[in-house]
Every structure is written in C-alpha cells, then in structure tokens.
Structure 1
Amino acid sequence: MLVVCLLVGHNAWLWLGKGITPDTDILALLPADERDPVLQQSFTHMVDSAQQRVVVLVGAKDWLDAGRAADAFQATLAPHAGLLAFDAMGDEAQAGWLASLQPHATLLVGALDEKQLREQPARYWTDSALARLYNAFSGPKLGAFRDDPFGLFAGWAQERAGETPVRPRDGRLFVAGEGREYVLLTYTLRDSAFSLRAQQAVLPMLDAATGAVQRAVPSAEVIKAGVVLHAAAAGRQASGEIHTIGVGSMLGIVLLTWLTFRSFKPVGLTVVAIGIGFLGALSVCWLLFGRIHLLTLVFGASLIGVAQDYGIYFLCHRLGADPALDSHRLLRRLLPGLGLTLLAAVIGYMGLALTPFPGLRHMAVFSALGLVFAWMTVVCWFPALIDGRSLTAGPLARRYRGLVTRWPRLSGGPVSLVLVAALGGLAVLGCSRLQVDDDIRSLQSSPPELIRDQVKLGKLLDAPSPVQYYLVRGSSAEQVLEREEALKRRLDPLIVQGDIKGVQALSNWVPSQATQAARLALVEDKLLAAGGPLAGLAREIGEDPEWATATAAHLRVAAAPLKIDAFLKTTAADPWRHLWLGEVEGEHASIVALRGMRYAAIPALAQAGTNLPGVQWVDKVGGISSVLGRYRAYMGWVVLGAYAVVFLVLLPRYRGRTWRVVAPTAAASILTLALLGLSGQNLQLFHVLALMLLLGVGVDYGIFLQEESGHGSDAPWLAVGLSAASTILSFGLLALSGTPALRAFGLTMLAGTALVWLVAPCFTVTKEETHAMPVLA
C-alpha cells in the first residue's frame, strides 16, 4: 500500500506539479550514429536549421493580390511575435551583407567571370566596363562605378543570388511558379517544435492567419511547411490513439470480465492492477530517462492486454476451485506458473531493449516495468480481496468452458498429420512470397496535405534536401574549403546534365586562400596591369593615367583576404551558417548541399565523391534504411535466441513437455509470417519486434495450459481464452494506428495472438500422458 501511495503521489507531482509534457520527437525512434559524431552532428545541423522555422508562401495570380493576402496573414500573427517571430528580410538586410563583403570585393570573382578572365582578350573587358558605365541595362550595379568597373563583384553577387529563386521585390521576398506570384514569409518558433504547448498554440494561429487570407483575397493560396506542423499532426494522432487503444482495451476487458465472473470486484481489481502497472512504469521510466515519449504511452496502452493475464489466471482458478480452499494457498499453488509467465513476457519485452532505437528502448522498459508492477499487485492484493464466495460463473464462462472437451488435440492420427502437412505447405508458400522493405519512407505517417505542401514548397523554393548531402572534413578550415572546391569541380558535369541544379557550400562565399590568391593574381594580370583594360578604359572615358593608377590602388584595397571565421559573423552568413560544422572531435568539417537533386541521380552523386580525400556522400534515408535492414536481420537472430533462453528457463519444470509450451508460439510466428507474405505485406523491423513480444505473450498461454494439463480442470482453458481475447482486442486496436510502425506491430500481434490461442490447446495432453511424463513439482 505504501508503494502504491508513493506511485500515486509521484505521478500527481509529475503531471500537476512539474507539468511534464510527453516528447513528440519522431527522431527519437531513429538510431543515433554514436560511432561517427561528426556525421551525426552534420545531420543535426541540417535538421536543426529548419526545425524551428515555419515557411509560408502566400500566392495569387496578381502580385498586388499576393501582397494584400500576405499583409492579412502577417497582421493576424503580429500580436503573437513572442511565440512565432517574423524574420524580416528587406533591403536593409541585403545592404548589410553587401557592405560586410565590400572590403573583399576584388577577390570575389564568379566562376563564369574567372573563365572569361582566362580566355577573353583585353578589349572584351574594356568594352564590358564601357557598357556598364553607359548602358542602363548592362546588369546589376553594386556601389559606385569605380568600386567595380568590370562588374566582377556584381557578377559574383548575382551568381550567389542564383543559389535561390527568391528575389526581393517591393520590400518583400518574391518567388514565382505554376502561374502564381508568391510572397515568402518565414517565421522562427521560439519554443521547441516538439513542445506540445507550442504545437497547441501555433496551429490555431496559423489556421486563423490562413482564414484571414481567404477573407482578404478569396482566390489566394497559402502553402505552409515546418517541422512543427508534422510534429503537431503526429501529436494529435498519437493523443487520439491513446484514448482509442487505452480506453477501448479497458472497456473490452471490463465487459469480458463482467460476462465471465458476473461481479464488479474482479473488474475493479483488474483495473487497479493495470492502473498500478501503468503508474509504476511511468514513475520509474521518468526517474531512469528524465523524459517520456508520447509513442511510449501509446505503446504502453497496449500492455493493458498483457498485464491483465496474471489477474485472469488467478481469477479463473479461483472460480473453478473449491470455495473452501484458502486463496493464499491457491496462490502458492499457482505461483510457479505465474512467475514463469512474467519471466517469459519480460524476456520478450527486453528483446526490444536490445535495439539501437532510444524510443523502442523506452517502450520496452516501460512495458516490462508495467508488467512487473501489475504482477506484484495480483500476487499481493488478489488473494486478500478475493475468496471462494466472491465469484460466480457468468454466461461467457459457462458456455466457453464447454468447448474444452471438443477442442482437437495433436496426435499421430491421419487427420492431425494431414492438417499439419497442410499448414506446413501454407507456411512454406507464404514465407516464400515474403518480401522485405526497410525503406524509412514507408514509415512516413504525416497527413497527405502536409506532404503535398512540403513537396510544392520545396519545388518553388528549389530547397536542398536535408537528408542527402556531402560531408567534407579536413585537418583545418582551409583544407576543408579546398576539398569543397575540388568536389564542386567534380559536380559541374552533373549540373550540366541536369542531375542537380546547383550546390550550396561555404566555399561559394569564402573561397580558399589559395583560390583567393589565384583570383587576385588573375585580376592583376588581366585587368590592372600597366597597359591593360583598366588603362584602356581610362583613355576611352577621357581620364588621365593617374585615374587608372588610383582606381587600381582602390581595387587592391578591396582585396583583403576573407576568412571563414570573419564571414560567419556577418549577416550574409545567416542563411548558410548551418553548412559549417567547424571543429568537431579534433577535425574541421562542413556540409555541401545540393539543389534540385533528382533521386535517380543518387548513384552518380555518390560516385562523384569517391577518391576525394575527406569527402563523404551522406544519404540519411538510405543510411537509416540500411540500419533498419541490418537490425531486422539482427533481431531475427535475437528472437531465435530468446526461444532458446525461454526453453532452457522452462525445462527444469516441464521436462519432456517443454516443447509443448513453446511450440504453439513458434508455429503461430511462422504462420504469421506466411500470412504477411500471402497478403502482400513487406517484412519490416517492426514485424520482427512484434514476433519477439509474441514469444512472451504466447508462452504464457502454453504455461497456463501445461500447468494443470491432464488434471481435468478447465480453469487454464478459460484463462487462455480471456487473456487472448483481451490481448487481441488491445493489439487489434493498435493495428488501427495511423503510425505505420505501430500498425505493423499491431497487425503481427493480432494475427500471432489469434493463432496461438487456436493452436495452444492442441498441444495439451491427456491425464494418461501426464502420468507417463511426470512434471517436477
């Protein structure tokens, strides 16, 4: 009682005092790459750069309508700047980053201009400068003519602007596509995108802003994207599933218990046992991990269908026993079987803890602890509160127990052999058709409209993929920049072929010192040398030689070496800062991102980085999918090992009948795989994880039936029926989950549990067989 009071008090403090909120970060289910911290940090940089941002495109066929719609959207969100802050990107910001780069302007030469400097004659550059001076349509002009007479810095800036289709227009950010003109609005979320509080506040705000747009310009289109939108969708889905699975399972168990025992006391005690299991698991998991994942609670809701097995086992034996028999004596007789069922279930759940997924480890620990607390509640409380006169057989118990005499038994007869052969053929056929699919994208569960908006926005903004990129490493920042430049030369043919549209890299903005020196030498030789294009330009515009000398000196002043650390402190670096990892674990690293990548070009992109020192192609989707496949195979062997462990644990008690305890679950697992194959389901890691749990659940039924096999008692038969029905109900509801991983898990458990229920009674033995194979008392 003291332990229960402590659990209730601790849970009350967690929810009411501390105000905990479950974590909704789906990435918690993914494996952390602990062997390569640089690679892991690169992925974190790419994800974090977008995690706190909400990107909105407000579009219309007419630019003025798009502007009015954007104003309505902004006005609605303006009072909530403390939660969702607007990122101002106007002319002042552009002027700021241009000014910060002006001291290095002479060194900043675009790739096309560098090529022309090497190939074009002096007259070309004199004519180019004259065109810039006298022709209003000769190209962009940044600053005074003397600051950039040949347009090299302007060409470089235009090249950098080409890294995104977004352009400034009338004090807004503008992009066009699909017959519409869009205003780009970006917001920064102040709280974590995975905070339930932030999600609950932000979504109504965005919906209200969208409504304001529709009222202002009914024909306007609003496209929204952001991690918070996907996290909120997952949170809503998981919250709904907690109620559906947990409440549905509980109602089903209550109904089954009432129809069996025709009393509220077993119902109340079963609910208490499950409740204490849930509270105990939550408290201990919080103490161990300092957090609780929302999917852990969803998955934990399914343990309701398992935790009640222990109470049902005791209640069914109490119903069928002599009313004069003391409940504590009855418990002592049942305790070996109860202990083995708990041990087998915990072995099954602990198999999940062997995975590299933090989320699954939390689920395994939560569920195992919940079973332990529920088991202890049954052992400590049920004998004291239930006596021989507390229970009366209800209509379900009376009708169901009549089936025990008619259920088929496995024997050496022809009917049994034909049935076994038929099931064996079905298993071989189904398993031969079973395919595997470890693609992480098959676990995508975001609403279609969110995915559609994300894809459309990505195309309009030409955004790079955050999960496919190059990781470049070196012993120094300078070496990293040099290796980036070597990689970009490799990628130039792929840009020409259309496999990618462009590259985003810090070396686009900060060339290596060797490249800066080479470009300065090229400018000196081709433009500033005596008698060169600059001198020719002075003659053409009527200036004396001193003007050319002074202009050359002015351009040399604007040739201060640009260092990466200095650039990262400027406003120009804000959109690209996530590409630079800096020093990690004693080495420097950066990210080279790809714009407009075709997925069919991934093999060519991977090949482009080979044999380049310090360059690594990163395909996070492919990498995680590979990990899922590797651990699917690994967990398959773990399942086989768990069968061996359970067999050895049960062997001292059941001796020659041990195989009868384990065989029903093994047969059900094989048939479940066959059914997956026949139904066209692809095998995933989560199917295998469910087979691990099925071992723990199914062996319970084998233990129940073998404990008093041949003694003529129908209590184990009734216990197996009620337990299986409750488990099927809870995991059947889990199979309705909108989360693909949980749905795969639930479908496997649904089919597997039903099959164990049907098969396990076939392996019971008669009284004569029991006497021939004595069981250790």
Structure 2
Amino acid sequence: MTARHRLLLALLWLAALALAGGALSARLQLSGDLRRFMPEPRTPAQKLLIDELGEGPGARLLLVAIGGEPPQTLAAQSEALRAALAGDARFALVANGGGDALEAIPPRLRPYRYLLSPGFDASAAALRAALDERVQDLASPAATLLEPLLPRDPTLETLKLAERWQPTHAPRRLHGVWFDRGGREALLAVQTRAAGFDPAGQAAALAAIRAAFERVRGGTRSRLDVTGPGAFAVEVGGRTQREAGVIGTLDSLLFALLLWLAYRSWKAPLLGALPLASGGLAGLAAVALLFEGVHGITVAFGFTLIGVAQDYPIHLFSHQRPGVSPWASARALWPTLGTGVASTCIAYATFLVSGVDGLRQLAVFTVAGLGTAALATRLLLPGLIDPAPRDTASLPWVQRLWRAAARGPRLRALPALALALAAAAVAAFAPGPFWENDLARLTPVPTPRLQRDAQLRAELGAPDVRYVLALAAPDTEAALQASERLLPVLERLRAQGVLQGFDLAARYLPSAATQRARQAALPDTPALQAALAQAVAATPFREDAFAGFVEDVAAARRAAPLSPRDLDGTPLAATVASLLLQGEGQATALVSLSGLRDPAAVQRAVAPAGARLLDLKQASESLVAEYRTRVLWALALAAVLLAATVWLALRAPRRVLRVLAPMALTTLVILAALRGAGVELNLFHLVALILAAGLGLDYALFFDHAGDAPDEQRRALHAILVCSAVTFVVFALLALSTIPVLRAIGVTVAVGVASNFALALLIVRRPTAPA
C-alpha cells in the first residue's frame, strides 16, 4: 500500500467519524439534571434537597435590580419590565410590588375570594360601614383604581387578599414598586417555568429578561443586574464553555506539536487523533443507547477520562522499527496494551454498582470509549502507518536519557516503604478538614456575585435558604389542615422574636374544610339582598349598583372548594406549588422561614404539631458524605479487580508488585501533595485518582514489557515520555482553570503523571542486559 493510499484511508476514517458525529449529535439528548449525579436520598431533608435542586422555587427564582437613574425613572422601567415579562410563557411569576390589584385573583376565581378571605362579614352593619368607606374612597385620588372593583366587591375583599398575600417582609416601596432600602435600585422577583436543572430554559429566560430591559430602558443609562441560581448557571456555563474552548484549542495544538516533535511527521497528530475520536463517539453512542438522556457532565468528564486513550497510538508509533511491520508491532504490544486497557476499564466499571445514575453513565462512556480506542489502535491504525519508520531507540537524545537513567539509583523496597509512610503521614496529619462536604465551596461563582445575591435576597425579604419546616400528610387536604393548625404556633414564635416571618401554602389556599366552613357562613341570596338593601338605603348608591356582588356570593355558596389544581395558570399556582409538594400517596406542606434566630426553639415549638425543622445544609453535607462513601467502595473494589487483572496477565508475584507499586505510591503522593497544600478533598479528586492510577499502570506495564533488552527499553522510554508529556501538558492547563471541578481534576492528574513517570522509571525498569 502506497503512502497516498494510506493517507486516503486516514481521511476516509476521519470523514466517517465526522458523519457519525453529525448523526449522533442530531439524536443526542443532553441533560443538565444534577440529581443524576447524586445518590438516592434517604432522609426527608435529603429528599427535599434533591427536589429543591431541580424543581424547587429557590432554583427557579431570579432576582432583578435596575439602577443608574433617578427613582421615578427606575420605577417606570420596573413597571414596564414587569408588564413585558408578565405575558411571557417562560415566567410563572413576575413581581415588583406594583401592578393592578385585580391581578391578585384572576376573573374566573374572583367569586372564591369569599372562601379564601378569613374576615368577610355580610351583616347589614358591616356592609353599611364598608359602603360609607367607599363613598369616601370615591372622593379620593384612588377613585379611578377602586371604581372598577365596587360593583362586584364593595367590601374590597380582593384588595384585602392582595395585601394579605404580600411578602411578610416586603421591600421598601417607592412610586408604587419595590426598591432597596437606599432607594437606588428598583427590585423585581422573577420565577421561571424552566426547572433549575434546565440550563437551556434558564438561558432563554435570562435572555428574555435582558431583551425586554433593552426595550424599556430606551436611551437612559439604567443598568440591569440579575442574580439567582439560573443566572449563575448561565454565567458559569458560558465561562466554562469559553475556558473549555480555550483549553481544548491549546490542548489540540500542543498535542499536535508534541507528536510532531516526537516523530518529526505531520501525519502523527492526524493518525494519533483517530483512535481517540473513535473512542469518544463510541462512548457517546453507548450512553445514548443505554440511558434516557446523556448528562452534560458525562460528556465533559468522559472526554477528559478517555484522554488516556491518546497513549495507545503513541505506544504503537514509538515501538515501530525497520524490518518489522506495523501489524507485527501491534501484535507484540497487544498483551501489554490489552492488560492496561482491561485494568482501566475494570476500574471504571465499578461505578456501575455505585447506585448513582451519573456515575453509571460515566462508566459506560469510559469503558466503551477506551475499548474502542484500543481496538482501533490494534485493528485499524497499523494499516495507516509508514512500514519503514525511524527507530526511536536510535535517537541520540533518547540514548543519552536512557544512559542517565541507567546510571541512576533504583527505588528498593525499604525506601519505597519510607516514601509511602511519609506520604501517608502528610495526608493524614495535614491541618484542616480532610474532606470537603460543603457543595457551596465547589461553586465557580465569584464571591462578589454571591454576596450580591445575598444582598438582593435580604432586600426582597427572601426566606432562609437553609432551614424549612415540613409537615408530612397522606394528601394535600391533610397537609393544608396541618398547616392551619401550625399557624398559631408560628405567630407566637414571631411575636417572641424567634423568627421574623414565615410563609406557607395555607396562607394562599385554605383547606377544603376551612373553605366549607366559610361557605356555610355566607348568607343566602334573599338574606344578602335584604342586608344590602338596608345598607344601601343610607348611601348615595343605587339599589341595583351591587347586583354583581350578590351573584358572586351566590356563586361562592354553590362552588366546590378550590384545590391546588384549580390554581393552574394563575399567579398563585407557582407559589402554592412551591410550598405544597404532592407525591404519590403523600403530600408535604412546607413552611419557609425568614430571620430565624433560634432553630432549636423552633423545633421544640413545632414538634407537637407534627412539623420537622429540616436543615438543608446538613442534608447536603450528609448526601455528599454518602456519595463519597459509595465512590470509596467503588475505588476499593476497583483496586482489588485491577490487581487481579495484572496478576492474571503477569503470573509472577515480583513482577506484579513492581507494576502495582508506582500506582499505589503515586496515589499516596497525590494525597500528600493535595493535603500538604491545604486542599480539602472532594468527589472530583477521587474520580481523578482512578485516571491517574490508570496512567501509572500503563507506564509500569510498558517498562515491564521492555524487559532488559536495551533497544526495547529505549523505545519504551520514548513512548512513555511522549505519553506523560502530552498528558501532563493537557492536565496542567486544566489545573489553571477557574472552574473548581476542572481545577481539581487537572491538579490531581498532573501531579499523578509526574509521580507515575518518575516512580515507574525508578521501580519497574530493569538493569540493561550486557551487549
């Protein structure tokens, strides 16, 4: 086969990959649900935390501030923005403290105001007093606002409910809308319909807010600031994408440059990339076939993990020599290469029993990717390689390096044991916590942005995001009744200063039992007409002015009690849904708290009512701890299976120990380096340890494969040096990332690559046989 034919086949392989990638991307369903990477929740607090992460109101809430202009201008822009977003289907709620009071209850539900309001009185005396107040109201500047309400609502029950439903600690109001305490920024609270784990939906909502603001700001200098989980997710996602693009571009250029320098051939980078790309597509296809939706973390992390596959073609390139066909070289390398591939795949396959869906996806992606890349290197790549290459064993710089290494010391058993004990001591006794349990510490959101979000939450009177009361019940009706029984307790706690405020679903939607009691208290039509006639007689109003009011009360007497489902499509739906969780065969009423000063006192007070104070921070930490336990068990199982695989391949105790020693020592060295630098270990460090271990095993296996033949030793040194240089550069760049997850992976693997190379060279290489 000529060089032209080989190049043509390589290009055809690349074209096939491009076509397969295009077909796969058209069918690929990416998921952003972080709950896929969480273990199954066990406690009520953990279950609530998992729900809140994706679909809870906290995950959907965006806080908006408009500043930069005088208050009157900002108030007008706030109202214009609210009006623009209120009709957008992407938003469940847009609140700024303004708007028409009639919006509090949609027209189809207005007769129900008499079932929702706790203080309606239809006696003649109460109606007379209400009508006297309306006469005064009509002579005031508020007449134009109130006049549309009066025919059907002379007691202004609609306005009373709207006031009752205002936040317990509503922000300062200027010019009819919410402002911060200093009066410099107009504030809005926006709740998206898109779930918190839906990055595309959150990005679309944020883009709609910014586009609407650009329209309402006109030529003014006002500025918009949006915070909240969705805004942070979009911001971090964009930054991650930019960093990944820059790092990926640099990695690709450096990969090509290093392979060109190592083999002095422009074909090497092209041919070396083909198995890696094949493995990536195979991994994606396997996950798409076996799972419903591929998580974005699986894609990003999976491509990082199968980066070890770049070593496979490098070993083939470096072990080529004149007089031996590429096919023969591939056959000779396959037992060693296959052992390394099998060991790494077994290590990642242990995630299949982790009980975490995201880790299962990662296992399938990595095993399928590495297996495909290895088979492509063994079965396809030899046909594209120049059959008459330059022997890397004859390169002068390789010979000099090997002679220097041969003159150097070897790490014997006692020094290796001393190194292990020293590293273990540093890892165990370094100051500071060993594990990082706080999920918030892993966020890549800059501290000033988090502080800004906390400031806006305080200004808007947002509830405490750590503590929440939960009332479990068989159904929603029982949950609402339990909430109503809890109300006096909460009011007493507020009066005592234990907490500043609270919010619960029963505040907006009373239980059916309460609604029926209020319904029974409503007068029938003749009685109401008589009381109304008596009240109207002493006022300027006409006798028939309030016929609509009589119709609404009659409708309220006939109506079935409102249920949560009846609120769909109304501003109340999102609020009630966030405080009344409905599951299969059960319901949970939540009570959000603000200004909580004494959690223990709250727990003692609410316990007799059947409520539990849940600490979501403690729940997140326990969930992380359980997740880590599963990963550690998977790592332990991986270590056992990996050692068994190496034993089956080598069948010699001393060889097995020499091959496994660099990997084991490197794991301790990585832990010591991280802990010595004051790093608290998180889950991503643990997963990256497996990658570092797989790399170390490959290096040790190929040094062992070289035996004591000088030429084979130099070829192995060249291959491992190129592999480690490429991998170190890739992960060193990753270690410079501002994203904590990427930085944790990069630092761990970069330290591991350097340690694995040095230890494999000192422990596994054999003395050169005499010529």
Is this a same-fold pair by TM over 0.5? yes
Q: For 1:318, what is the secondary structure of its paired residue?
A: coil
- Give the Å deviation of 1:130: 12
CA contact (8 A) 1:194 1:231 kept: no
CA contact (8 A) 1:317 1:715 kept: yes
Q: Deviations over 1:90-109 (max 9, x none)?
A: 31643645984555537733
Distance 1:108 1:42 in 2: 34
User: CA 1:695/1:516 → structure 2, altered by over 3 Å: closer, same or farther?
Assistant: same
1:480 maps onto 2:479 in alignment = yes
CA contact (8 A) 1:438 1:629 kept: yes
Q: For 2:320, what is the secondary structure of its paired residue?
A: helix
1:10 maps onto 2:47 in alignment = no
* Partner residue of 2:256 out of 244, 254, 257: 254
Show the counterpart of 1:342: 341
Q: How does 1:57-96 map to 2 (within 5 A)?
A: 57-59=65-67, 62-70=70-78, 90-91=99-100, 93-94=102-103, 96=105
Q: Choose 618-627 or 340-349, whichever is displaced more.
A: 618-627
Show the counterpart of 1:637: 633
User: CA 1:190/1:693 → structure 2, altered by over 3 Å: closer, same or farther?
Assistant: closer
Show the counterpart of 2:114: 105
Show the counterpart of 1:117: none
Distance 2:100 2:77 in 1: 21
- Give the Å deviation of 1:592: 1.9
Q: Give the gaps of 5 or more residues in structure 1.
A: 115-123, 529-533, 543-552, 771-777
Q: Deviations over 1:648-671 (max 9, x none)?
A: 111132421211111111111112
Q: Give the gaps of 5 or more residues in structure 2.
A: 1-8, 540-549
Distance 1:250 1:597 in 2: 52
Show the counterpart of 1:679: 677
- Give the Å deviation of 1:51: 5.8
Task: Give the TM-score normalised by the residue count of structure 1.
Answer: 0.78
- Give the Å deviation of 1:249: 2.7
User: CA 1:272/1:765 → structure 2, altered by over 3 Å: closer, same or farther?
Assistant: closer
Show the counterpart of 2:700: 702
Q: For 2:64, what is the secondary structure of its paired residue?
A: strand
Amino acid at match of 1:9: L
Show the counterpart of 2:406: 405
Show the counterpart of 1:428: 425
CA contact (8 A) 1:306 1:697 kept: yes
- Give the Å deviation of 1:236: 1.6
Distance 1:467 1:229 in 2: 20
Show the counterpart of 2:657: 659
Distance 1:365 1:86 in 2: 41
Amino acid at match of 1:108: S
Amino acid at match of 1:180: R
Q: For 2:314, what is the secondary structure of its paired residue?
A: helix
1:43 maps onto 2:51 in alignment = yes
CA contact (8 A) 2:194 2:201 kept: no
User: CA 1:85/1:396 → structure 2, altered by over 3 Å: closer, same or farther?
Assistant: farther
- Give the Å deviation of 1:152: 9.1
- Give the Å deviation of 1:371: 1.5
* Partner residue of 2:163 out of 158, 166, 174: 158
- Give the Å deviation of 1:728: 1.8
Q: For 1:161, what is the secondary structure of its paired residue?
A: coil
Q: How does 1:392-541 map to 2 (within 5 A)?
A: 392-393=391-392, 397-411=398-412, 417=415, 420-421=417-418, 424-433=421-430, 435-448=434-447, 450-464=449-463, 468-512=467-511
Amino acid at match of 1:274: L
Show the counterpart of 1:56: 64
Distance 1:94 1:197 in 2: 26
Q: How does 1:44-443 map to 2 (within 5 A)?
A: 47=55, 49=57, 55-59=63-67, 62-70=70-78, 90-91=99-100, 93-94=102-103, 96-97=105-106, 100=109, 105=114, 108-109=117-118, 158-163=163-168, 165=170, 173-180=177-184, 182=186, 184=188, 186=190, 194=198, 196=200, 199=203, 216-218=219-221, 220-225=222-227, 227-303=229-305, 305-319=307-321, 323-386=322-385, 389-393=388-392, 397-411=398-412, 417=415, 420-421=417-418, 424-433=421-430, 435-443=434-442
Distance 2:87 2:174 in 1: 26
- Give the Å deviation of 1:438: 1.0
Q: Choose 352-361 or 634-643, whichever is displaced more.
A: 352-361
Distance 1:330 1:436 in 2: 46
How well do the aligned residues superpose, as a CA RMSD in angstroms? 4.9
Distance 1:78 1:594 in 2: 26
- Give the Å deviation of 1:714: 2.4
CA contact (8 A) 1:309 1:723 kept: yes
- Give the Å deviation of 1:458: 1.8
Q: For 1:594, what is the secondary structure of its paired residue?
A: strand
CA contact (8 A) 1:104 1:562 kept: no
Q: Deviations over 1:390-448 (max 9, x none)?
A: 23545654554344313421236xxx64x753662343133222522211111212345
Distance 1:79 1:559 in 2: 32
User: CA 1:205/1:144 → structure 2, altered by over 3 Å: closer, same or farther?
Assistant: closer
Q: Choose 178-187 or 725-734, whichever is displaced more.
A: 178-187
Amino acid at match of 1:307: A
CA contact (8 A) 2:113 2:158 kept: no
Distance 2:110 2:89 in 1: 32
- Give the Å deviation of 1:585: 1.7
Q: For 1:56, what is the secondary structure of its paired residue?
A: strand
Task: Give the TM-score normalised by the residue count of structure 2.
Answer: 0.79
Amino acid at match of 2:495: V
- Give the Å deviation of 1:624: 2.9
- Give the Å deviation of 1:37: 13
1:646 maps onto 2:646 in alignment = no
Show the counterpart of 2:618: 622
CA contact (8 A) 2:64 2:190 kept: yes
Q: Deviations over 1:335-381 (max 9, x none)?
A: 11111010111123334444454444333332332212211111013
CA contact (8 A) 1:56 1:184 kept: yes
User: CA 1:440/1:50 → structure 2, altered by over 3 Å: closer, same or farther?
Assistant: closer
User: CA 1:404/1:176 → structure 2, altered by over 3 Å: closer, same or farther?
Assistant: closer
Q: Deviations over 1:462-482 (max 9, x none)?
A: 223567533433224332112
Show the counterpart of 1:721: 721
Show the counterpart of 2:687: 689
Q: For 1:473, what is the secondary structure of its paired residue?
A: strand
**Identity of paired residues, percent?**
24
CA contact (8 A) 1:430 1:674 kept: yes
- Give the Å deviation of 1:769: 11
User: CA 1:378/1:131 → structure 2, altered by over 3 Å: closer, same or farther?
Assistant: same
Amino acid at match of 1:662: L
Amino acid at match of 1:431: A
Q: Deviations over 1:615-646 (max 9, x none)?
A: 45444443232121122133223322221111
Q: For 2:491, what is the secondary structure of its paired residue?
A: helix
- Give the Å deviation of 1:554: 12
CA contact (8 A) 1:467 1:620 kept: yes
- Give the Å deviation of 1:311: 1.5
CA contact (8 A) 2:423 2:671 kept: no
